[in-house]
A and B are shown apart, each in its own frame.
Chain A
Amino acid sequence: EPEVTQTPSHQVTQMGQEVILRCVPISNHLYFYWYRQILGQKVEFLVSFYNNEISEKSEIFDDQFSVERPDGSNFTLKIRSTKLEDSAMYFCASSPSERKQFFGPGTRLTVL
């Protein structure tokens, strides 16, 4: 069964550094999403992406964040200058329509 994949599984970075989290959505899906989960807290929506543009973003998704679909298979989340509070598990998801979302295994980001 096709799955959403994410790399790396764990990323450690220094505060102020740029990180890129990578996702490969399920191949025939059209909608792509990023969520994050700070340890012990709820899963929070960051951004959705459809037809090569952001369709919705949360208040968390400020100018430090950007998303891109650089080719036909990858979907990336960039954090330009990481802060301590960006430490979280980041989940990518995709869906074929506006219905069920399929989640990847997550990337654990640790900012030191």
Chain B
Amino acid sequence: KQEVTQIPAALSVPEGENLVLNCSFTDSAIYNLQWFRQDPGKGLTSLLLIQSSQREQTSGRLNASLDKSSGRSTLYIAASQPGDSATYLCAVKGGGSNYKLTFGKGTLLTVNP
């Protein structure tokens, strides 16, 4: 059974700092990995999707990497802003399923002005 873990559970940084969020998964037979952002009481906004054959994806100040063999992904946020404050979720598809995403519990990021 696929398990996804995110470390740290919470992170507080001053504005302008670069930061890294970590995600690990137990079954490396994945199809893809998605990073989401969730604001309090809101839905999930997809940030980046990495296919299993890819090593990284970039969008603006965000860069996600994938090391499938070691079961790890990182989300790098450059020059953080207070508007980046949210919970960041990692989700993987695969490990025996063609359809479902298995989510981590998320990292709550607070960027202080």
Residues on A facing B (Cβ under 8 Å):
31, 33, 35, 41-45, 48, 50, 55-56, 58, 91, 98-106, 108
Q: Which of B36, B46, B93, B104 contacts A42 (CB 8 A)?
A: B104
Q: Is the CB of A56 within 8 A of B97?
A: yes
Q: Which of B42, B46, B51, B99 contacts A102 (CB 8 A)?
A: B46
Q: A48-B99, A106-B42 are in contact. Are A41 and B34 (CB under 8 A)?
A: no
Q: Does B19 contact A (CB under 8 A)?
A: no
Q: Is the CB of B44 within 8 A of A103?
A: yes
- Which residues from B are CB-within-8-Å of A58? 100
CB distance from B84 to the nearest CB of A (A): 19
- Which residues from B are CB-within-8-Å of A56? 97-100
Q: A41-B105, A43-B89 are in contact. Are A98 and B44 (CB under 8 A)?
A: no
Q: Knowing that A98-B31, A100-B32, A103-B44 are A-B contacts, what are 15 other residue pairs whose CB atoms are under 8 Å apart, sorted by A's residue number?
A: A35-B101, A41-B105, A42-B105, A45-B101, A56-B97, A56-B98, A98-B93, A100-B46, A100-B49, A101-B101, A102-B46, A103-B45, A103-B46, A106-B42, A106-B43
- Which residues from B are CB-within-8-Å of A50? 99
State the main secondary structure of chain A at its contact with B. Answer: strand
Q: A42-B105, A100-B34 are in contact. Are A33 and B43 (CB under 8 A)?
A: no
B103 to chain A: closest residue by CB: A43
Q: How far is the CA of A44 from the CA of B36 in the complex (A)?
A: 14
Q: For chain B residues 61-113, which have a beta carbon within 8 Å of chain A?
A: 89, 91, 93, 97-106
A-B contact pairs, 17 of them (CB 8 A): A41-B105, A42-B104, A42-B106, A43-B44, A43-B101, A43-B103, A44-B103, A45-B102, A48-B100, A56-B100, A98-B93, A99-B51, A103-B43, A103-B45, A105-B43, A106-B42, A106-B43
